[in-house]
Each structure stands twice: as C-alpha cells, then as structure tokens.
Amino acid sequence: MTEKMFEAVVIGSGFGGAINACRLSRKWPGHVRVLERGKRYPLGSFPRSPYDFARNIWNVPHENRSNFQEIADEEQHGIYDVRSFQNMDVVQGAGLGGTSLIYANVFLLPPDQVFAHPRWPETCRREHLGYYYDVAKSVLGSRPIPGYDSDDPETKPSDPRRRVLRTELFREVARKNNRESRLCDLNVFFGNDFDNPLPIGEQDENRFGALQTSCVYCGECMIGCNYQSKNTVDLNYLYVAEHVHKAEILTECLVEAIVPVDGDGQDDPAADGAHGYRVYHWDMSEIPLKDQNPEDRPYQDLPSTLTKRVIVSAGSLGTTELLMRCRDYLRSLPNISQRLGEYFSGNGDFLSFALRTEKRVGSTYGPVITQYTDYNLFKNPDPKRAFIVEDAAFPNIMAWMIEGIRPGFSRTVTILRALKDFARRFAGGRQAGRVGSSLRLVMGDAASDRTAILLNMGVDESDGRFKLGPNNRIRLDWPYRNSIALYRAIISSGAAFARRVWAGLFLPLLTWTWPFRRNITVHPLGGCILASEASEGVTNSERSRFGEVFGYKGLYVADGALVPSAVGSNPSATIAALSEMVAEGITEEKPTADL
C-alpha cells in the first residue's frame, strides 16, 4: 500500500499549532495531522488531589529535565514543563491546547513602539497585524470581566459574586500612584452574549459547538480550568479542526526528527523540501518512552508521517530545540540559518509579593488576572524601563498550603484549645460546643487573603541565546545584566505598591536575590525570528512565504519562536496574529472569525 502523503503535519497544539491546524484542515479536510506530546484534558480532568498534582509535570527521562535523582527515572506526561537554565527558568505547558491550558487568559496588544524595533520586519508593523489581532480576538472571545467599567475605577458589579477585591485594590493603588489601570481583555467564557453574561456556573455551547461553563470565579486558571470556562484553543480552533475539518490529532506523540524527502519519498537530508518531509515521532500513548529503548533506537525506526508541509509549533523552546537538533546533530536540516537560537526574550517577566496587606486582597477569587497598570509601556514609553503590573490570583489549594505552613505559637495554642474543647464536649456531653469558633480563631485573618502577587512584564533586551548542549538539548545563555535597569524599576515599583497597601513585607522573587540572580518566565519568545533574509533571522517575513524557514520549502514555524523581540504585554495575542499570517501565506485564504 502506498504511504499516505498528508498536506500538512502540525507539530504542537498551542496558539500557533491550533491556528494552523484549523486553517490548514479547512483548506485540506482530512489531510492534516497534528502531533502533540501532551495529553488531552476533557471537562473536569485537570488534577486536583495532592497525589495527582505531584505527578502533573513533564518528565521524560530521555530528556534529562529533572535535577532530582529520586524522580529522574519517573516518566510523567503532565502539564507543567519547567526548564531550568542559567539565570532563567521557563514554564511552559504540555497538552492538547499547549500552554493555553495553564495560561492566565489575557489578550493584550503591545504598544506601537514595539513594532518599530529594528528587528521587526516591515511586513510585521502594527498596521499589518491589526486585522489578524481582530480575527484572533473574536475567535478567542476576549472581553473584560463583567460588571466593571475600564474607564471608571469606581464602578462595582451589582452581583456580589462578580466582585473581585483584588481588581479593586490594584485599581485603587494605580489611581493613588497616578498610573493608569485598564481592565484586561480575557479569553474567558461568560456566555455568548457579551452584554448579558450567562449566570455564573450555567453551561452553554460556544459558537463553535464546544460545551463551556460561565466562569465560576474559582481562581484556578493556572492549574487548568475544570469547568471549561477558559477559552483555551482546544475549545475553538482545535475543536473545529478536529470535529468539522477532520484534522487527525494524535496526542502523547513527541516529535524527534524532520527530514526532507526526494521525489520518490525517500529520506534525503540534502533536499530542500520541494518534495516534502518525513516527520518521526515517539508514540508514548501506550508504552512509556523509557521502555522504548530511546538511547539506542535510531529515529529511522520510529513511526513517521509523510507530508508536503510541516508547521513547527512546539513553542519558542520546543521549536528551537527541534530545529537545532535537526541542523546540528541529526544533520537532517543542515542549511537552517546560523541565527537559529538567537534573540530569546523572557518578555521582561518578574514576580513579586506584598505580604500582610492592610486590606483584604482576596487573591484566590476570580479569573487569575483582571487588570494591568501601565508603567511607561503604553504611555510615556521609556525604552529601558517599560513594563506593566498585573494582579495575579492563586488557587485555593495553595492558600490552604500557606495557612498550613504558617508558623506561630498563638496558632498552636488555638489548636490545643480547640482540641480540648472538642474533648470536653465529647466526654461531658456538652451541647453548645465552640468548635466552629475555634476554627475561626485557628485561621485568624488568613495570611493568604492578605497576599498580593504582582506579575510584571516588560520590554527586556531580548538578547538571550540558545545553544545545543549535552544530550542534544538546548541550554540558554541569558545575559540578565543587560536588562537590569528594567528589573530594578520593576522591583522599585513593587516596593512602592507594598507601601501603598501597608504591606508588612515586600518580597521580590526569592531566586532573584544576590548571588543567584535566577529569574523565571512564563512568556518565552524568539529563537527562530522573522526577518527578510537568512543572515538576520531564521524565518521568512515575506507575506506569501511568511514563517517559512529560510533554505527549506514548505517548512514553517508558527509560534512564539517567531517573535523578534519582547512585546512587553502578554504575548499570546501577538503569537496568534503572526500564526494567522503564517496560515494565510500557506492557504492563500484570508482568515475570518468563522472557522
């Protein structure tokens, strides 16, 4: 039987992958295959118990991710893939829907000056991207939380269940500091009618047919929404790709190699892709990878897919690593530009905490981010110190952990008193016990409720560089000192925030303290940046070949790796817009919000 030649294989299913899976399968129904390393997460399947949560990490021994010997050999295909490099840790997602499964739903366009950076090609100016931002925004159903008015910081929702104290606090601080706070557009489902939100907890099909629940304000967005209230890409772009355009989606498939083929469909590393490619992957859906003898098994023995085109959407790190491995180790794509791996950015991410605030923050309630306060990113841009601060929520399970580990003699005394009271009641048959009141005393003022998390992002120098290290995995050189002015400005604004809310303690990210200087980002960008020629970037910025890897026909990148520099705002909107442009170049069809 002749081997099926697919029109396209999409590697990864985050923003870039989902968009391309949908657009390309619409053009070629039944002829597009998606290969995703993570699992599917249907309604209610995100882990919550301590047992399951502890295993909710990405750990494939072959990849040597874990520093801990005890779990290094334990294979887990969970959502959190945390990669540690010198001076920078990176958090990304693994699962059908990519990092959208654990992201904070914010859809925010960067300010104009970002596109004026010399590294942004002419075809990617703001005026060119505008249309694609609009399309993605419509598909993703972005809107602010209901009941508040972005222009009037005094507004409060009439339904008390829609009040988010954290939003109100951050807006109040912004006003006092003469800063502008705007409500974020959120990719969260509050019903299909924007003006009349569906009551909290009611379910309805979204306009693509997937079942969603009107957000219940549980604050668990970053551990996966068990109500399908987040508009993650598996509920729109991927949903339509699979259910309407018959894309074939394979999960727990980790792509290992991409090799061009000759006119007879045979692997030919010297070819330029004109005849297509073969994509090799590990199938881990039934047998763990560690039991498949990965060290000794050549990639040529793995399951493979023959395809005319390949869209690599494995995220900034995943895409850069896969292409680098193919260029430098497997030598299957030897002609990729020497710029591969350059211009990594952590998007200026920085995390800090204001503890023991005077007023309640209510940090466990509501969608995980609701507003941003501008510090010279949008207004009065400062090239070295342009950033925003967003309010972050954390899940209740973490709040219970904080309460559990909070030290204090008074608490021990209170617990003993509660136990004594309980024993008395049990032994003496007392009817009016004080157990309820004791619980109130044990919890006190709940430290977790008076903790504000400040999530900053801004325009860093975007000058990180990936190289292929031992085991053919990337390592990152992040010259943090070049972005130190930004980090200092962020820390100083955080300290000012803490003073405004009369916090007992202000803590910047602990791993940042000298001499460690380790930052953490959830917004990795760059590695395969767009440019007009191969001497400047890895992927073509010409509109008809947008995102195509220089030197290879039909091999595209569509994800955060394309982004030439930090955007300062949350980047998924920009990744989505650029990915729509990649798909348009391939299909020659202008995208609309009708999938």
Interface with ligand SF4 by CB under 6 A: which residues?
188, 215-221, 225, 227, 229-230, 367
Query: Which H helix or E strand runs over 135?
Result: helix 126-140
CA distance 193 to 195: 6
Residue selected from 100, 214, 304, 332 as contacting ligand FAD according to rule CB under 6 A: 100
Give which of ligand SF4, ligand FAD, none residue 496 binds (C-beta under 5 to 8 Å, depending on kind).
none
**Helix/strand/coil for 168:** helix
CA distance 133 to 145: 20
Per rule CB under 6 A, is residue 93 in the interface with ligand FAD?
Answer: yes
CA distance 101 to 571: 15
Q: Which of 390, 377, 462, 343 is nearest to 112 (CA)?
A: 377
Binding region for ligand FAD (CB under 6 A) out of 88-96, 405-413, 488-496, 502-510:
88-96
Per rule CB under 6 A, is residue 61 in the interface with ligand FAD?
Answer: no
**Helix/strand/coil for 3:** coil
Q: In the complex with ligand FAD, which residue's Cβ is closer, 325 or 503?
A: 325
Instruction: Work out how close the CB of 132 gets to ligand FAD at its nearest, in angstroms, rounded to a whole number.
Output: 14
Binding region for ligand FAD (CB under 6 A) out of 10-18, 323-331, 430-438, 510-518:
10-18
Helix boundaries (H) for 429-567: 435-443, 484-500
Is residue 313 within 8 Å of 559, Cβ to Cβ?
yes
Residue selected from 560, 568, 585, 591 as contacting ligand FAD according to rule CB under 6 A: 560
Which residues inside 283-342 make contact with ligand FAD, applying CB under 6 A? 313-316, 318, 322
CA distance 203 to 254: 34
Which residues inside 219-258 make contact with ligand FAD, applying CB under 6 A? 222, 254-255
Q: Nearest 5°: phi and psi at 82?
A: -105, 120
Give which of ligand SF4, ligand FAD, none residue 185 binds (C-beta under 5 to 8 Å, depending on kind).
none
CA distance 518 to 87: 4
Contact partners, residue 455, CB within 8 Å, separation at least 6 = 104, 349, 351, 369, 389, 390, 391, 392
Q: In the complex with ligand SF4, which residue's Cβ is closer, 372 or 394?
A: 394
Residue selected from 103, 280, 343, 466 as contacting ligand FAD according to rule CB under 6 A: 103
Instruction: Work out how close the CB of 142 gets to ligand SF4 at its nearest, in angstroms, rounded to a whole number.
Output: 13
Which residues inside 166-225 make contact with ligand FAD, applying CB under 6 A? 222
Instruction: Work out how close the CB of 215 gets to ligand SF4 at its nearest, in angstroms, rounded to a whole number.
Output: 3
CA distance 269 to 331: 7
Instruction: Work out how close the CB of 100 gets to ligand FAD at its nearest, in angstroms, rounded to a whole number.
Output: 5
Two tokens, residue 53: 């949560």
Query: Which H helix or E strand runs over 413?
Result: helix 409-428
CA distance 350 to 519: 7
Instruction: Work out how close the CB of 116 gets to ligand FAD at its nearest, in angstroms, rounded to a whole number.
Output: 21
Kindly state the number of chain residues that form the binding site for ligand FAD, as judged by CB under 6 A: 43
Q: In the complex with ligand SF4, which residue's Cβ is closer, 236 or 540?
A: 236
Give which of ligand SF4, ligand FAD, none residue 314 binds (C-beta under 5 to 8 Å, depending on kind).
ligand FAD
Give the x-and-dash track for 23-52 against ligand FAD (CB under 6 A): ------------xxxx--------------
Q: What are the distances in angstroms from CA 136 to CA 124, 132, 363, 485?
A: 16, 6, 29, 33
For ligand FAD, the binding residues (CB under 6 A) are 11-17, 35-38, 91-95, 98-100, 102-106, 222, 254-255, 313-316, 318, 322, 369, 522-523, 559-560, 570-573, 575
